[in-house]
Structure 1
Amino acid sequence: MDIKITDGKLLEKYIDTHYLYTQFGYYEFFNNITVPEVEAIVMDTIEDIFPEPFSIRKHTCKYDNRFNFEVNIETKNIYCLVEWNYMKECYKFRKGDNAFTYFESYDSLIRHIIREFKNVNTDTDKLITDCTHLIKAIETSSKVDISLDYLINRIKDPQEIEDMLYGDLPF
């Protein structure tokens, strides 16, 4: 591929291949990348145009999607709120009046929600149903053709739930 670079000094610049690998990895997950997208990623890397780190992005992100659900714990209902922006990879979760907890991925968000209610007396089936609806809402908001059925199948499997709750296996 012949990428036109107008500044000769940029031709001598070191390229962070780890950044390139990460960026191409996102596209590989979706199974499609176009030549202009490859050119844009390479040029952004050469010109030091990187996305904001998550520590900054989580506060500047425009959370344009919202999902509410309630968890019944004994005689009390706990109101939960999830907000996210799929394309910017920022997710946040609030349980009751607590402060928001921030996440870079929907996997870690779902895992956190399930773990948050692991030691309380609650209707696990309803929680799994709410998480399933949340996953479908995230899938719909993605604006790309993705399927998160694998994640739904994982949270519906009792052994996977046990691993999420008590195991240290990556999710």
Structure 2
Amino acid sequence: MGVILQILGLVITFTMAMEALRRFGIDVGWLNPLTFFHRRAWRKKVSTPPLYALDHPVDVVAVLALATVQTTGAITTAQKAGVQSLLQQHLQMNESDAANLWVASAHLLRSRALALSELPDVLARSADKFTDYHVQTLQAVMRAAADIEPPINDAQRKLLDAVDAYFAKRKAASGPWSSANPG
């Protein structure tokens, strides 16, 4: 019983000391562990660029299809229509959804080419949700987007190879001897 009273006394003393410091204008809110972890999670969420926060394979397919055609420079109307058609065909979208996804992807890339060094960051949050079918669809859409205005340029080939290498590396890492595969 004495230990419980001592702990209760310490909690009350600590609370009173914190209140006294607050009255004197000293901010001790950072000592609260609940708000500390909440602020840390919020800071991480806010500081992550939206392009790196994509967590659904459909969004990633659209962004990488757009990135594939952006490597040629300015996007032509034929490329835009071709990518929207590919999104409709491979992702079973209607025309307005494909157009909205195009606009969202264009906003995320902000009219700049996607650097190969950014690819792991773009794929990181959604990679676990990619099944073999999703990976095949992504590769098919990217290759078809590169073929809209042939021939495939070097930057497009590097982007396609980088996506292939990324998923091959993930598949090898989840092999039979890895810790990620418990069976």
With the length of structure 1 as denominator, give the TM-score of the two structures. 0.32
Q: Which has the higher contact order (CA 8 A, sep 6+)?
A: 2
Greater fraction of residues in helix: 2
Greater fraction of residues in strand: 1
| Bigger Rg, structure 1 or 2 | 2
With the length of structure 2 as denominator, give the TM-score of the two structures. 0.30
